[in-house]
C-alpha cells in the first residue's frame, strides 16, 4: 500500500471512537478482554491523575478495561502508595519471568508485561502524561475493535515544548525529528507514514505482540515498528490523532543518550536486513565531553540494549523447563 493510501485508510482521529457504548458492543461481540499496562519508575508527580481519570471513566463508568496494572522498576517515591490508594495492581518487572534475567529500561518493562497482563488486547501508555484524558486509551483501542484486520495502533499528537515558563505549541519530539525520521526515510521509507514513531501510547493484539522480539531501553518503539513491518507489513498498523500530549521535556543530554540506544537497535536491524554492512561491532559506550572555563572532562556511560526473544518463545521455554 502506498503511503498516501495508508494515510487515508489507516489514520484516524480519536473522536471516531468516542462512542464508548459502541466500543463496548464490539468488545462483547468479539469476546475480547483489554489490559492497560503503565511502565513506572518514580512518577508520583503524574500518576495519581492518570489512574483516577482512566479508572473512573473506563472501569467505573464503563466496563471497558478489564485490567489496569503498573509494571514498576522498583520506584522509591510515592508511586506504589498511589497505586495502592487507587486499587491498581503492581507487577515488579524484576519478578516477572525471573528465569529470563534482568535488563533495564522501558522495553524490558513492556516485554515482561506480556507475561503479566491477561488481556487479548494490550494497551500501553506512558506514566508522565500531564494532560491525561481517557482518549489516550479508547482512542488507540478503537481501531482494533472496529477493524479486525488492524493489529497494532500508535498514537500521534502535537508535542509542545516548555521554554522557560511557557509552552511553545510545537517543538517536542526532538529525537523523532533528528534521529528516527531521517533513518526511516533513508532505509525504511514505508514507515515514514507514522507521524509520531516514538509515541509511548500504543495498543496491539496479544497474538501479534507475543510474536515479536522486543528491544530493551528506549529502542523499543522504533524497533517494534520495523519488526512488525518485516513480518506483516503496514496494512496491519494504524495511527490515531490524540491532538496533544504534554509531558516534562527532557534535557538535550538525556535525549542524546536516548538516541544512542535507538541507533544501536536500528543499525543492528539494518545490518540484519542487508541494508548496511558494519565493519565493526556496535559500540555500547557513549562519551560526552563537558567543558567549563577551558577545562574539559569526559563522562562515560555504558548502555547496551538487548533484543528479547518473542514472548511466545519465552513462555514455551518456561513450560519446558518446569
CATH number at residue 56: 3.90.550.10
What is the pLDDT tens value at each position of the chain, 322 positions in all?
A: 689 999 999 999 999 999 999 999 999 999 999 999 999 999 999 999 999 999 999 999 999 999 999 999 999 999 999 999 999 999 999 999 999 999 989 999 999 999 999 999 999 999 999 999 999 999 999 999 999 999 999 999 997 765 555 555 555 568 999 999 999 999 999 999 999 999 999 999 999 999 999 999 999 999 999 999 999 999 999 999 999 998 666 677 778 899 999 999 999 999 999 999 999 999 999 999 999 999 999 999 898 899 999 999 998 877 666 6
| pLDDT of the residue at 159 | 76
pLDDT digits (tens, 9 = 90+) for 83-95: 999 999 999 999 9
Predicted confidence at residue 269, as pLDDT, reads 98
The boundaries of the domain holding residue 302 are: 3-321
- Return the pLDDT at 5: 95
**Strand 89-92 to 67-72 pairing:** parallel
What is the reported pLDDT for 165? 57
- What is residue 308's predicted lDDT score, i.e. its pLDDT? 98
Give the pLDDT confidence score for residue 113 in this predicted structure: 98
Tell me what pLDDT residue 252 has: 73
At 172 the pLDDT is: 53
Task: Count up the domains in the chain and report the number.
Answer: 1
What is the structure's pLDDT at 317? 77
pLDDT at 174: 83
The 3-state secondary structure of the chain reads CCHHHHHHHHEEEHHHHCCHHHHHHHHHHCCCCEEEEEEECCCCCCHHHHHHHHHHHHHHHCCCCCEEEEEECCCCCCHHHHHHHCCCEEEEHHHCCHHHCCCCCHHHHHHHHHHHCCCCEEEECCCCCCCCCCHHHHHHHHHHHHCCCCCEEEEEEECCEEECCEEECCCCCHHHHHHHHHHHHHHCHHHHHCCCCCCCCEEEEHHHHCCCCEECHHHHHHHHHHHHHHHHCHHHEEEEEEEECCCCCCCHHHHHHHHHHHHHHHHHHHHHCCCCCCCCCCCCEEEEEEEECCEEEEEEEECCCCEECCHHHHHHHHHHHC
- pLDDT at position 249: 64
Amino acid at each position: 500500500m502506498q503511503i498516501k493510501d495508508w494515510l487515508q485508510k489507516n489514520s484516524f482521529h480519536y473522536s471516531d471512537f468516542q462512542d464508548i457504548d459502541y466500543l463496548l458492543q464490539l468488545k462483547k461481540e468479539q469476546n475480547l478482554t483489554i489490559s492497560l499496562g503503565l511502565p513506572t519508575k518514580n512518577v508520583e508527580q503524574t500518576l495519581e491523575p492518570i489512574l483516577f481519570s482512566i479508572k473512573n471513566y473506563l472501569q467505573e463508568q464503563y466496563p471497558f478495561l478489564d485490567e489496569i496494572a503498573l509494571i514498576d522498576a522498583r520506584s522509591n517515591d510515592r508511586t506504589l502508595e498511589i497505586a495502592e490508594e487507587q486499587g491498581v495492581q503492581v507487577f515488579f518487572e524484576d519478578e516477572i519471568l525471573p528465569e529470563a534475567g534482568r535488563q533495564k529500561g522501558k522495553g524490558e518493562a513492556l516485554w515482561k508485561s506480556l507475561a503479566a497482563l491477561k488481556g487479548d488486547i494490550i494497551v500501553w501508555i506512558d506514566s508522565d502524561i500531564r494532560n491525561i484524558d481517557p482518549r489516550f486509551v479508547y482512542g488507540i483501542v478503537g481501531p482494533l475493535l472496529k477493524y479486525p484486520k488492524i493489529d497494532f495502533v500508535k498514537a500521534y499528537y502535537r508535542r509542545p515544548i516548555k521554554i522557560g515558563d511557557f509552552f511553545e505549541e510545537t517543538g517536542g519530539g526532538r529525537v523523532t525529528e533528528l534521529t528516527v525520521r531521517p533513518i526511516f526515510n533513508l532505509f525504511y521509507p514505508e514507515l515514514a507514514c507514522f507521524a509520531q514513531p516514538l509515541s509511548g501510547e500504543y495498543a496491539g493484539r496479544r497474538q501479534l505482540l507475543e510474536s515479536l522480539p522486543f528491544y530493551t531501553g528506549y529502542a523499543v518503539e522504533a524497533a517494534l515498528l520495523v519488526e512488525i513491518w518485516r513480518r506483516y507489513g503496514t496494512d496491519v498498523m494504524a495511527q490515531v490523532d490524540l491532538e496533544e500530549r504534554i509531558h516534562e521535556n527532557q534535557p538535550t543530554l538525556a535525549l542524546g543518550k536516548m538516541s544512542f540506544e535507538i541507533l544501536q537497535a536500528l543499525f543492528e536491524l539494518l545490518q540484519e536486513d542487508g541494508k548496511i554492512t558494519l565493519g565493526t561491532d556496535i559500540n555500547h559506550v557513549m562519551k560526552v565531553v563537558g567543558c567549563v572555563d577551558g577545562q574539559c572532562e569526559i563522562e562515560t556511560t555504558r548502555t547496551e540494549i538487548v533484543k528479547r526473544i518473542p514472548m511466545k518463545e519465552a513462555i514455551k521455554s518456561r513450560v519446558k523447563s518446569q
